[in-house]
């Protein structure tokens, strides 16, 4: 009975892991963060960076973790969730306004949010020189909120005139009989000017740049880190405008580092202009580098490393709860996994997660719910993976008939006919590659290797994909879970190694 109670508490710790980073405090986020490879060192560099990753890859967790590290080091971190700027139903959603007006308002909201965060830092942490920092913040607010009236001008003018001229005629008559002939002339005029228009924000980059430089000087050697999260939540037509305004204000200011978290295919940092110039940020030039969490989390060729990563992730999250719940909690990640999972169940969970931390956390929570007061088994993981697939992933493309049909054909071809979970695609763009990108964004396809070269066709490059575990888990549920290694679906078959004729292995989307 005591063992079952302990096991139930271990499972409850897994079920209690927060699904989103925003729901945890900064201390918990720092304690539970697990870096993949050299990611932490890259993230903490002072270069401007764009951090790419699909939903659930850990972008928000990484930025909040970096924010805590920056504050601990004595620098100033300004974290902004771009979903919270402005107001719902405001300028951003008004399609009737020009994009320039919406984008300028977005920049103003961004700078005002930065101002509020810096003001809070100046008051609460007492950093920098208050005699120069507060005036610099006032200048920043003034530069961000300048307004002008722009619109049609109506001019109204009224005029009238009259004239009188008198001429005397002498006809040899007496003075009393003199005749005068003439007319009268006068002139009046009236002019009225009426202006009508819309009040719009005007950002002047000279004062804004000077204000930012004054702020960084007043911070007396401390670097300001501007961390912009949820970039992809902004309307795509506004993203290059905000990017360009950042390029002209924050990026060139010494002492400021900008990090942007975004979903790659839903982000637009640059737009071309008619004169050949560009608007926005050129990733790789204006922003020094782009880091992809999706690439860092490719785990096909290092299953041991993947298991170590997720074991530490679960242990970091569950440890605080277990200390309060158990008299003798597991001392490390390995002991926690050994107590929470039975047999090869943990390896099956790592495979089901396909390298996505949020998927791993949700599948683990559902697995613990199925197991109740027993260690989690392989069948519990498979049931949980099926539930999560139906509840979250499949519903993401339920309204896209073309993407749904393509996924069904891929599963029939790769899993059904080829008896595999992996396949290759030519990197050359085609009419159906946008659907592949949509399936990848929905975490229904996963990239294992990029840019594979074929020695028989050197000019053609291929990407290696894996079909999501949830797409074929129903087949696994029909098998005997006590002998999981007997199934071809559970074999660690990856993409073909270099030297194969990749053209014969690749899937032809046009013929599919």
- Does residue 20 lie within any of the structural domains? no
As a whole number of angstroms, the distance between CA 82 and CA 80 comes to 6
Contacts of 276 (CB under 8 A, 6+ apart): none
The reply to whether 105 and 120 lie within a common domain is yes
For residue 23, the surrounding DSSP H or E stretch is none
The reply to whether 170 and 301 lie within a common domain is no
- Asked which of 79-83, 95-99, 385-389, 445-449 is least confident by mean pLDDT, the reply is 95-99
Contacts of 414 (CB under 8 A, 6+ apart): 420, 421, 422, 423, 467, 507
What token pair was written down for 270? 């640059």
CATH of the domain at 114: 3.40.50.300
The dihedral built from the CA positions of residue 338, 342, 344 and 347, taken in this order, carries a sign that is negative
Residue at which a domain ends, from 163, 196, 229: 196
Mean pLDDT of 192-200: 55
Of the candidates 501, 394, 505, 408, the residue with the CA atom closest to the CA atom of residue 448:
505
Q: What is the DSSP string of 297-309?
A: T--TT-HHHHHHH
Of the candidates 386, 404, 495, the residue with the CA atom closest to the CA atom of residue 442:
404
Strand partners, 182: 166
- Does residue 511 lie within any of the structural domains? no
The reply to whether 286 and 311 lie within a common domain is no
CB 53 within 8 A of CB 263: yes
DSSP letter, residue 235: -
Mean pLDDT of 207-230: 92
The reply to whether 119 and 160 lie within a common domain is no
- Does residue 19 lie within any of the structural domains? no
What are the two backbone dihedrals, phi and then psi, of residue 22, each rounded to the nearest 5 degrees? Answer: -65, -20
Of the candidates 401, 399, 439, the residue with the CA atom closest to the CA atom of residue 423:
439
Distances (CA, A) of 408 to 85, 290, 386, 417, 423: 39, 33, 16, 13, 14
Q: How confident is the model at residue 192 (pLDDT cuts 50, 70, 90)?
A: low
Write the pLDDT tens digit of every residue in 241-294: 888 888 888 999 999 999 999 998 889 998 887 777 788 888 877 776 677 888
The reply to whether 95 and 168 lie within a common domain is no
The reply to whether 328 and 248 lie within a common domain is no
The reply to whether 138 and 225 lie within a common domain is yes
Residue 239, exposed/middle/buried by CB under 10 A (0-12, 13-18, 19+)?
buried
What are the two backbone dihedrals, phi and then psi, of residue 457, each rounded to the nearest 5 degrees? Answer: -135, 75
The reply to whether 176 and 233 lie within a common domain is no
Residue 487 pLDDT > 80, yes or no? no
- Does residue 23 lie within any of the structural domains? no
More confident residue, 166 or 105: 105
- Does residue 117 lie within any of the structural domains? yes
* pLDDT of the residue at 84: 84
Average pLDDT, the chain: 80
The dihedral built from the CA positions of residue 398, 404, 407 and 411, taken in this order, carries a sign that is positive
- Does residue 109 lie within any of the structural domains? yes
Mapped onto helix, strand or coil, the DSSP state of residue 271 is strand
The reply to whether 385 and 314 lie within a common domain is yes
Strand partners, 324: none
Looking from the CA of 441 toward its CB, the CA atoms found within 13 Å total 16
- Asked which of 28-32, 72-76, 148-152 is least confident by mean pLDDT, the reply is 148-152
Residue at which a domain ends, from 335, 359, 394: 394
Of the candidates 399, 354, 400, 382, the residue with the CA atom closest to the CA atom of residue 472:
382
More confident residue, 295 or 44: 44
Residue at which a domain ends, from 296, 326, 348: 296
For 422, the domain range is 397-505
- Does residue 97 lie within any of the structural domains? yes
Q: How confident is the model at residue 482 (pLDDT cuts 50, 70, 90)?
A: very low
The reply to whether 229 and 347 lie within a common domain is no
Write the pLDDT tens digit of every residue in 269-283: 988 877 777 888 888
Residue 299 pLDDT > 80, yes or no? no
- Does residue 18 lie within any of the structural domains? no
As a whole number of angstroms, the distance between CA 236 and CA 309 comes to 34
Q: Give the number of domains in the chain.
A: 4
As a whole number of angstroms, the distance between CA 345 and CA 347 comes to 5
CB 446 within 8 A of CB 440: yes
- Report, in angstroms and rounded to the nearest whole number, the Rg of the chain calculated over CA atoms: 34
Residue 163, exposed/middle/buried by CB under 10 A (0-12, 13-18, 19+)?
exposed
The reply to whether 377 and 240 lie within a common domain is no
Residue 57 pLDDT > 50, yes or no? yes
Q: What is the DSSP string of 211-230?
A: HHHHHHHHTTTPPEEEEEE-
CB 258 within 8 A of CB 231: no
More confident residue, 166 or 424: 424
- Asked which of 23-37, 297-311, 332-346, 410-424 is least confident by mean pLDDT, the reply is 23-37
The reply to whether 413 and 487 lie within a common domain is yes
């Amino acid at each position: 009975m005591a063992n079952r109670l302990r096991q139930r508490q271990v499972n409850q710790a897994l079920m209690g892991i927060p699904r989103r980073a925003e729901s945890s405090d900064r201390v918990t986020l720092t304690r539970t963060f697990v870096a993949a490879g050299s990611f932490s060192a890259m993230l903490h560099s002072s270069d401007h960076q764009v951090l790419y990753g699909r939903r659930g890859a850990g972008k928000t967790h990484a930025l909040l973790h970096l924010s805590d590290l920056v504050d601990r080091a004595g620098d100033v971190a300004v974290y902004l969730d771009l979903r919270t700027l402005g107001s719902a139903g405001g300028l951003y959603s008004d399609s009737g306004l020009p994009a320039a007006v919406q984008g300028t308002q977005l920049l103003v909201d961004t700078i005002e949010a930065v101002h509020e965060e810096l003001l809070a830092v100046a008051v609460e942490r007492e950093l920098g020189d208050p005699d120069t920092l507060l005036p610099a913040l006032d200048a920043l607010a003034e530069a961000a909120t300048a307004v002008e009236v722009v619109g049609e001008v109506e001019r109204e003018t009224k005029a009238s005139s009259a004239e009188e001229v008198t001429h005397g005629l002498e006809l040899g008559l007496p003075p009393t009989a003199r005749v005068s002939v003439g007319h009268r002339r006068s002139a009046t005029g009236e002019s009225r000017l009426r202006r009508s228009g819309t009040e719009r924000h005007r950002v002047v980059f000279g004062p804004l740049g000077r204000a930012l430089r004054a702020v960084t000087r007043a911070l007396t050697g401390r670097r300001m880190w501007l961390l912009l999260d949820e970039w992809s939540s902004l309307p795509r037509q506004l993203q290059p405008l905000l990017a360009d305004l950042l390029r002209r204000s924050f990026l060139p200011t010494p002492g400021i580092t900008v990090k942007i978290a975004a979903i790659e295919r839903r982000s637009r940092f640059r737009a071309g202009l008619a004169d050949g110039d560009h608007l926005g940020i050129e990733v790789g030039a204006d922003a020094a580098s782009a880091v992809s969490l999706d690439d860092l989390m490719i785990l096909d060729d290092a299953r041991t490393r993947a298991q170590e990563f997720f074991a530490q992730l679960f242990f970091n999250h569950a440890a605080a709860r277990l200390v309060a719940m158990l008299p003798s909690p597991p001392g490390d990640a390995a002991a926690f996994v050994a107590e929470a999972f039975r047999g090869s169940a943990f390896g099956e969970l790592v495979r089901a997660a396909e390298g996505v931390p949020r998927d791993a956390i949700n599948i683990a929570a559902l697995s613990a719910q199925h197991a109740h007061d027993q260690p989690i088994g392989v069948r519990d993981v498979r049931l949980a993976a099926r539930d999560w697939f139906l509840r979250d992933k499949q519903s993401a493309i339920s309204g896209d008939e073309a993407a749904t049909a393509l996924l069904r054909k891929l599963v029939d071809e790769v899993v059904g006919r080829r008896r595999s979970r992996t396949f290759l695609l030519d990197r050359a763009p085609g009419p159906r590659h946008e659907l592949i990108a949509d399936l990848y964004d929905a975490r229904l396809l996963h990239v294992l290797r990029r840019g594979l070269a074929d020695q028989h066709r050197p000019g053609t490059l291929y990407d290696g994909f894996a079909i999501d575990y949830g797409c074929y888990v129903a087949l696994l549920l029909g098998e005997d879970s006590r002998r999981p290694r007997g199934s071809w679906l559970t074999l660690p078959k990856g993409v073909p190694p270099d030297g194969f004729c990749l053209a014969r292995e690749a899937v032809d989307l046009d013929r599919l």
